[in-house]
Structure 1
């Protein structure tokens, strides 16, 4: 058993016995029913070596982790023109806040808060159409995993998000008054809700993240699926904005670019070293996985993978 394998087994045991587990996202009915005791973790290295533990093969709703992938597609389509419609700065506010939009004329602070991700969804609907945008998203993701057909969209989750997504409807309609939503609001939100309803396992999510680990290439084929500059931009945004108003604390505790979702998943990238996915459905006050964050903190403590270390990749235990 390699060092990384033994490390994540130890981490999983610590998480299994943790008394404080957070709270599930009870405002989305299917997520409210997820077992709080679930925990999975997967690590994929540059050479493809993979280590998994716990519930790493169990599919879950990735929710806002999907914003990394939609942003990748939008950057491929628009390049730097994208930044005329969404900015690149931390928000310091909750992920579904509407407060800043009025002062900033309907331009969201970054593509990972809900308002920003809705603008990204609008861009993809403009380019591909409402229905085809979902197909294109799946086509972007499936070649990156070893079992492509099992990555899918949970239409029941999407439907229930649409039925309860009043804040997102308000955000989209408000941005439309500034001309920053250019399609029928219902069409843009339909894609947004389906995007957030993507289901993957930790193993699959870590595999998908390898394209960021490698600087924009599919490590299975060598094909470039985004420019190196776009990959670096996405990693920078993950570091600054990937955990909403908890991004600073995550950067200090973990020290890796990461993106969370209210389904309890986190994707974290050690550039040039590893793609890591963790899932624990209990959330902290900022809507990020409580034990997932703790598990990543433990992993970095053992491996030295924080990008803020003087020589972060010297101690590479894979």
Structure 2
């Protein structure tokens, strides 16, 4: 595995056709597109790293996996009265479906759906309290208390977040939000600005590879049933309107972020994190997706056999 990951870095990681870094968040536009990392954390406790696997990057929408897990722990299946479980087929920041569907987002991984999840987690608390809870949960999953929020990225998102503010206010107009819109937005922008390395991210996802239990520590995070359902949503919705293409090419549950990271889960086998800042036209890491496709071809880890 180690040799193969190094081959991926030497070939795919050296490609000239790297996509474009996200420019609508100014702080992300400053990131060097020539960086590349891949980490594989297996359920038997092995950790394989290659490339810039200790370099911190903004996990952005990958954080939605962790906030969904928290929301399910707090509300259980009642969360589905606030957000759906269907692929959107639209860009991650689209407002079109909200108008047609009375302000109820299609799934938890598009921006509107993640705002609904934040609203559920807040439960009347201050944003700082909720952010501390989210951050503590991520640190717990990764077994790393050094994980923090990148304040520069959060500030950059707050200053340029008009589209997300529009989504939140539109949902509020349908009575879909129970907390002040500013609370929801502030919490959302900050949890998307959590900075992690591929090494940390792969460890944080291990519970989803272990049927809800961290196979290394033996600590159960969620029930096997809930882990399977989170994985199914990642497969169907984790790459926005590119989710079908990712399932077709890679065949693993995965969640992307516009910071260039992807967390992929091979159930019963491994948690995989890749990072390459350049994005394809949909907003998913271009080289990261290619690396995962190559990894699955090599290992045979596709859930489709």
Shorter-normalised TM-score: what interval? over 0.9
The one-character-per-residue Cα deviations of 1:73-126 (angstroms, maximum 9, x if unpaired) are 000111110000100000000000000001100000000000000000111111
| Aligned position for 1:313 | none
The alignment partner of 1:278 has SS state of strand
Alpha-carbon distance, 1:216 to partner: 1.3
Q: Which residues of 2 match residues 1-318 of structure 1 at below 5 A? A: 4-126=1-123, 128-146=125-143, 148-309=144-305
The alignment partner of 2:39 has SS state of strand
The alignment partner of 1:150 has SS state of coil
Q: Conserved in 2, the CA contact under 8 Å of 1:126 and 1:183?
A: yes
From the superposition, tell whether residues 214 and 128 of structure 1 become closer, same or farther in structure 2 (CA, over 3 Å). farther
The alignment partner of 1:230 has SS state of helix
The one-character-per-residue Cα deviations of 1:246-283 (angstroms, maximum 9, x if unpaired) are 00000010000000000000000000100000000000
Alpha-carbon distance in structure 1 between the residues aligned to 2:73 and 2:145: 24
Q: Which runs of 4+ in 1 moved over 4 A?
A: none
What is the root-mean-square deviation in Å for CA atoms of aligned residues? 1.0
Alpha-carbon distance, 1:166 to partner: 0.3
The one-character-per-residue Cα deviations of 1:230-260 (angstroms, maximum 9, x if unpaired) are 1111100000000000000000100000000
Query: Which is worse superposed, 208-217 or 84-93?
Result: 208-217
Provide structure 2 residue ranges, at least 5 long, that are not aligned to the other structure: none
Alpha-carbon distance, 1:17 to partner: 2.5
The one-character-per-residue Cα deviations of 1:25-58 (angstroms, maximum 9, x if unpaired) are 0111111011110000000001110000000110
Q: Conserved in 2, the CA contact under 8 Å of 1:144 and 1:220?
A: no
Alpha-carbon distance in structure 2 between the residues aligned to 1:208 and 1:78: 22
Alpha-carbon distance, 1:223 to partner: 1.9
From the superposition, tell whether residues 27 and 175 of structure 1 become closer, same or farther in structure 2 (CA, over 3 Å). same
Query: Which is worse superposed, 212-221 or 162-171?
Result: 212-221
The one-character-per-residue Cα deviations of 1:154-182 (angstroms, maximum 9, x if unpaired) are 11211110110000000000000111111
Alpha-carbon distance in structure 2 between the residues aligned to 1:17 and 1:196: 28
Q: Conserved in 1, the CA contact under 8 Å of 2:21 and 2:29?
A: yes
Query: How many positions carry a matched residue from both structures?
Result: 305
The alignment partner of 2:40 has SS state of strand
Query: Which is worse superposed, 215-224 or 294-303?
Result: 215-224
Give the alignment's TM-score, normalised by structure 2.
Answer: 0.98
Give the alignment's TM-score, normalised by structure 1.
Answer: 0.94
Alpha-carbon distance in structure 2 between the residues aligned to 1:89 and 1:168: 20
Alpha-carbon distance in structure 1 between the residues aligned to 2:304 and 2:213: 24
Alpha-carbon distance, 1:284 to partner: 0.2
The alignment partner of 1:216 has SS state of coil
Alpha-carbon distance in structure 2 between the residues aligned to 1:288 and 1:260: 6
